[in-house]
Amino acid sequence: MTDTVRRTTAYAALWSILLLVPCFWQQRIQAGDLSSHVYNAWLAQLIERGQAPGLTLAKQSNNVLFDLMLSGLMRAFGPTAAQHIAVSFAVLVFFWGAFGFVWSFSRLRRRKAPWHLAPCVAMLAYGWVFHMGLFNFYISLGLCLGALALARQKKWWAWLALPLFGMAYVAHALPVAWALGVLVYARVAQALARRHRGWLMIGALAALALGGFFLGTRFPTRRGPDQVLSVTGADQMWVYGTDYAALALALLAVWAACLHCALQSRGVRRILLDVRFQLCALSAATLVLLPGGVLLPGFRSVLDYVPERMSLAIAVLFCAAIASVRLPKPLVGAMAAIALVFFGFSYRDERALNRVETQMERVVAQLPPGQRVVSALEDPDSRVKSMLHIIDRVCVGRCLSYANYEPCTWQFRVRAERENPIVVANYGDSWHLQNGGYVVKPRDLPLYRIDLCDPAQGGLCLAALEAGDTLRNTGLRMARVQVRGDNRHD
């Protein structure tokens, strides 16, 4: 083993250890939909035992990998250990898939790995997608990035990309479609003379525009100004409040300086015809030309947050594009400093969310087992709706999270086939239960709501709802959590 291999192995081991620290620095991992995934893995066990009337387990080929892994781990180790193991695995898959992709696109790869970009990739690994808890998508993108890195190899290693793409599809289909597009474009562009790549890019943009038009005519779609926000990939740093938005702007400024270095060293023409930068531009254009959400056949809710999800791929692509540029040390240091501040903010806010969850557990413990519960809490400053699903994990083994959204969307393997005593079967009802405006019906009772006792005093309380009550949400800003908050009605 050469000194270079030993050094690379040591760095890889060190980074793997550092990467897992945020998975264990709090009692519970705060990652949005993770709570829902854990809760539905528990529901799946109830369904298998015949204890969940009205719910079924669907056989589907994708959007299930993380859920299957979580269910298996829960049977073996229980819910607490299962989520720590599953999320740790997801983080390592994404980081090393992304880092391998960045390395494979670097012209310096034969001499050394681009460790100077590791803090940036680590920050992306814990960005918006992670904190939203979109772990099937997250794992799929990591596997696809690893597959793309392998596909660039000239020997038999390239064939290992095929099983990775297969695993990625079981996790989520969206990254697979993107990765195959990247692979085809890169192969065609590299086969063409440089002077013809501009025409190839124009043709690809036209094809994307036609694809967006086709989707709009065949399926219900959603478009919005938020799609433009995601084109740089820096929005992955905007997780909770406005202080994260400032970090995203700082990172965007550093990336702009990196791009300036690339333009100075190679010139505008070479950059425009460079496949790596073309892939960045095309992926960014995709977020604008294609819909931000689409209602696919067989689903009861829109496949949403497409631009916000795919901005993570754009950010990794940009890291790959600048990996072969000799960046000044101040820029490298600035990216590392932004990463340190980002993780500091994350620790602070995840600790606040853990306090909220601890109080929720205390008030739910007052109820007899198996009662239906909803939460009125939301953080009006958070971009990831950080308190929306906390009640799901609190209810595992204790109560029923009546507003849980997964079964009624039919996008996941746990599905609500009809009205049932466990969860609402209509997605519109689930949305209003979580976001306010739902009018309680006699069939919902008994139903309990967790809310702030008194915004001036803080603390959470449990109240029994009555038929005809209209649910409202209460704003609880994490910056004030001891617990303190302010009422806000939708």
3-class SS letters over 228-296: HHCCCCHHHHCCCCHHHHHHHHHHHHHHHHHHHHHHHHHCHHHHHHCHHHHHHHHHHHHHHHCCCEECC
Tell me the two tokens of residue 422: 């466990």
Q: How many CB atoms lie within 10 A of CB 343?
A: 18
Asked if pLDDT for residue 104 goes beyond 90, the answer is no
pLDDT class of 490 with cuts at 50, 70, 90: very low
- Using alpha carbons, select from 149, 145, 102 the residue that is nearest to residue 121: 102
Q: Could you report the per-residue pLDDT of 434-489, keeping only the tens digit for each?
A: 888 888 899 989 999 988 886 555 588 888 999 988 888 777 666 555 544 443 33
Rounded to whole angstroms, how far apart are CA atoms 258 and 287? 23
pLDDT class of 102 with cuts at 50, 70, 90: very high
**From 90-94, 387-391, 409-413, 481-485, the region with the lowest mean pLDDT:** 481-485
Asked if pLDDT for residue 35 goes beyond 50, the answer is yes
Share of the chain above pLDDT 70, in %: 95
Rounded to whole angstroms, how far apart are CA atoms 304 and 294? 7
Q: What is the mean pLDDT of residues 131-140?
A: 95
What sign has the CA pseudo-torsion 415, 419, 421, 424? positive
pLDDT score recorded for residue 226:
80
pLDDT score recorded for residue 108:
47
Say which residues have a Cβ less than 8 Å from residue 224's Cβ, sequence separation at least 6: 292
158: exposed, middle or buried (Cβ count in 10 Å: 0-12, 13-18, 19+) = middle
Q: What is the mean pLDDT of residues 191-208?
A: 87
pLDDT score recorded for residue 484:
44
Is the peptide bond preceding residue 421 cis, with omega within 30 degrees of 0?
Answer: no
Q: Residue 475: beta bridge partners?
A: 378, 486
pLDDT class of 239 with cuts at 50, 70, 90: very high
Rounded to whole angstroms, how far apart are CA atoms 311 and 306? 9
Q: Which of 143-157, 262-276, 327-341, 449-463 has the highest mean pLDDT?
A: 327-341
How does strand 372-375 pair with strand 447-452? parallel
Tell me the two tokens of residue 395: 């209810």
Q: How many CB atoms lie within 10 A of CB 385?
A: 15
Instruction: Tell me the CA distances in angstroms from 23 to 85, 126, 391, one per residue in order.
Output: 9, 10, 20
Q: Which of 118-127, 151-160, 282-291, 301-310 has the highest mean pLDDT?
A: 118-127
Asked if pLDDT for residue 110 goes beyond 60, the answer is no
Q: How many CB atoms lie within 10 A of CB 345?
A: 18
Rounded to whole angstroms, how far apart are CA atoms 459 and 45? 33
Asked if pLDDT for residue 112 goes beyond 70, the answer is yes
Q: Residue 55: beta bridge partners?
A: 416
pLDDT score recorded for residue 316:
95
Asked if pLDDT for residue 234 goes beyond 50, the answer is yes
- Using alpha carbons, select from 381, 385, 363 the residue that is nearest to residue 305: 385
What sign has the CA pseudo-torsion 457, 458, 459, 461? positive
Mean pLDDT of all residues in the chain? 87
Q: What is the mean pLDDT of residues 280-294?
A: 88
Rounded to whole angstroms, how far apart are CA atoms 397 and 42? 8
**465 phi and psi, to 5 degrees?**
-95, 160
Is the peptide bond preceding residue 446 cis, with omega within 30 degrees of 0?
Answer: yes
Tell me the two tokens of residue 372: 């239906």
Residue matched to tokens 């087992």: 369
Rounded to whole angstroms, how far apart are CA atoms 286 and 177? 12
Q: Could you report the per-residue pLDDT of 41-87, keeping only the tens digit for each?
A: 999 999 999 998 989 998 888 899 999 999 999 999 999 999 999 99
Q: What is the mean pLDDT of residues 214-226?
A: 85
Q: How many CB atoms lie within 10 A of CB 17?
A: 9
Q: Are 262 and 325 spatial neighbours (Cβ–Cβ below 8 Å)?
A: yes
pLDDT score recorded for residue 196:
85
Q: What is the mean pLDDT of residues 374-401?
A: 88
Share of the chain above pLDDT 90, in %: 48
Straight-line distance from the first to the last Cα atom of the chain, in angstroms, rounded to the nearest whole number: 63
Instruction: Tell me the CA distances in angstroms from 453 to 63, 438, 462, 486, one per residue in order.
Output: 39, 20, 8, 11
Q: Could you report the per-residue pLDDT of 167-180, keeping only the tens digit for each?
A: 999 999 999 999 99
Rounded to whole angstroms, how far apart are CA atoms 33 and 35? 5
Q: How many CB atoms lie within 10 A of CB 292?
A: 21
pLDDT score recorded for residue 291:
86
Rounded to whole angstroms, how far apart are CA atoms 476 and 485? 4
Rounded to whole angstroms, how far apart are CA atoms 51 and 129? 33
pLDDT score recorded for residue 109:
46
Question: pTM for the complete prediction?
Answer: 0.92
Q: Are 36 and 392 spatial neighbours (Cβ–Cβ below 8 Å)?
A: yes
pLDDT score recorded for residue 195:
82
CA R_g for the chain: 23
Rounded to whole angstroms, how far apart are CA atoms 149 and 97? 8
**From 1-5, 180-184, 213-217, 296-300, the region with the lowest mean pLDDT:** 1-5
185-193 contacts: CB < 8 A, separation 24 or more? 185/275, 185/278, 185/279, 185/282, 186/275, 186/279, 189/275, 189/278, 190/275
